[in-house]
């Protein structure tokens, strides 16, 4: 597999703050990789190094084996950053056409606009778009050059549920077509649904790099949800192998490595359980466990 992105011992310091502390990361052609981490963990800084928007303080960043600022590498990439902007005077179609002109073999404008779900707004001035529609426009600009690699930094922020679903489907189709995609998101269900690999960065270092299934398997706990027939309090769980207990809206939510033991004890203590659900830990629980501060 050809290498698209490579960070080799990458460090980045901003004054006294070391945002990245020697990150080694390789992303191959055709992979869809989600970069996850708490705010300030180093995700956006990593993306900036990959794209040549910032230079590493130490170490090296390569894009298609070249310096990220090399035009031969940049012409093969599409980028959607958290902080973007366009003139409000041009129409959606005019802006997409303008950006297409920067690429050697761009998509037809109509195709890029359709991937972003903006067909009905193609003739509208950018200044009249809502926040979610502007996000879709930035997605159209990221894909309009038919790039080999896409960098999407929080791509669905501000989108409604239906629009978000459509953009996620477009990302899936681009991945299926062989595009390399690097994605950051705070919506962990998106990462779980889309990513081939998940890289978790925390406090400037990579603390996990595996498939979503493998990362979730690191958490042996099961998630237990049920509705007690009569109200219960924390005291009923005293002495039981329970973590993350929450009682809200007449339902009990908890994690346990031994759900059978917990349920058996509750039955013995006279708790009548309704609407019981026992499932494996999800990506959010695995993420919180990995990044939990001492």
Choose between 174 and 221: higher pLDDT: 174
> Residues of the chain with pLDDT > 70: what percent?
98
Q: What is the mean pLDDT of residues 209-220?
A: 85
pLDDT, residue 220, reads: 66
Determine the Cα–Cα distance for residues 249 and 87; give it in Å rounded to an integer: 47
23 close to 201: Cβ distance less than 8 angstroms = yes
Does the global pTM surpass 0.75?
Answer: yes
Give the separation between CA 265 and CA 122, rounded to whole angstroms. Answer: 61
Cβ–Cβ < 8 Å for 5, 51: no
Give domain limits for the chain.
Answer: 1-76+148-217, 83-147, 219-291
Question: Tens digits of per-residue pLDDT, 35-69?
Answer: 999 988 999 899 999 999 999 999 999 999 999 99
Mean pLDDT lowest among 61-70, 137-146, 263-272, 285-294 = 285-294
Question: Residue 294's pLDDT band (boundaries 50, 70, 90)?
Answer: low
Phi, psi at residue 47, to the nearest 5°? -60, -45
Burial level of 292, CB count in 10 A (0-12/13-18/19+)? exposed
- Residue 293: the pLDDT is 61
Model confidence pLDDT, tens digit, residues 236-262:
999 999 988 999 999 999 988 899 999
Total residues found in the chain within this entry: 294
Model pLDDT for residues 101-122, shown as the tens digit of each residue = 999 999 999 999 999 999 999 9
Q: What secondary structure, in 3-state letters, does the chain show?
A: CCEEEEEEEEEEEECCEEEEEEEEEEEECCCEEEEECCCCCCHHHHHHHHHCCCCCCEEEEEECCECCCCHHHHCCEEEECCCCCCCCCCEHHHHHHHHHCCCCCCCCHHHHHHHCCCHHHCCCEHHHCCHHHHHHHHHHHHHCCCCCEEEEECCCCCCCHHHHHHHHHHHHHHHHCCCEEEEECCCHHHHHHHCCEEEEEECCEEEEEECHHHHHHCCCCEEEEEEECCCCCHHHHCCCCCEEEEEECCEEEEEECCHHHHHHHHHHCCCCEEEEEEEECCHHHHHHHHHCCC
> What was the pLDDT predicted at 158?
79
In this predicted structure, what is the pLDDT of residue 243? 83
pLDDT at residue 148 above 90?
yes
Candidates 2.40.160.60, 3.40.720.10, 3.40.50.300, 3.80.10.10; CATH matching 1-76+148-217: 3.40.50.300
Give 64-99 pLDDT, tens digit per residue: 999 999 999 999 999 998 766 677 789 999 999 999
CATH topology of domain 219-291: Alpha-Beta Plaits (3.30.70)
Q: At what angle do helices 92-100 and 131-143 cross, to 10 degrees?
A: 30
**Confidence band, pLDDT 50/70/90 cuts, at residue 205:** very high
């Amino acid at each position: 597999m050809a290498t698209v992105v490579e960070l080799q011992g990458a460090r980045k310091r901003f004054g006294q703050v070391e945002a990245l502390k020697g990150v080694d990361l390789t992303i191959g052609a055709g992979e869809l990789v989600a970069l996850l981490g708490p705010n300030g963990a180093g995700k956006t800084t990593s993306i900036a190094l990959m794209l040549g928007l910032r230079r590493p303080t130490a170490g090296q960043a390569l894009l298609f084996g070249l310096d990220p600022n090399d035009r031969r590498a940049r012409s093969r990439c599409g980028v959607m950053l958290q902080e973007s902007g366009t003139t409000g005077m041009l129409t959606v179609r005019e802006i997409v056409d303008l950006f297409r002109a920067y690429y050697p073999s761009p998509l037809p404008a109509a195709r890029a606009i359709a991937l972003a779900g903006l067909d009905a707004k193609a003739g509208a001035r950018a200044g009249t778009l809502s926040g979610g529609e502007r996000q879709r426009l930035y997605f159209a600009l990221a894909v309009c050059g038919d790039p080999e690699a896409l960098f999407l930094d929080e791509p669905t922020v501000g989108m409604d549920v239906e629009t978000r679903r459509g953009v996620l489907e477009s990302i899936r189709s681009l991945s299926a077509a062989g595009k390399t995609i690097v994605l950051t998101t705070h919506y962990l269900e998106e990462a779980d649904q889309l990513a081939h690999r998940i890289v978790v960065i925390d406090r400037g270092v990579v603390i996990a790099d595996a498939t979503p299934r493998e990362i979730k398997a690191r958490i042996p706990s099961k998630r237990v949800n049920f509705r007690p027939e009569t109200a219960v309090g924390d005291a009923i769980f005293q002495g039981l192998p329970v973590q993350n207990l929450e009682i809200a809206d007449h339902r009990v939510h908890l994690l346990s490595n031994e759900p059978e033991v917990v349920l058996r004890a509750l039955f013995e203590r006279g708790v009548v359980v309704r609407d019981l659900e026992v499932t494996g830990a999800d990506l959010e629980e695995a993420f919180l466990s990995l990044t939990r501060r001492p």
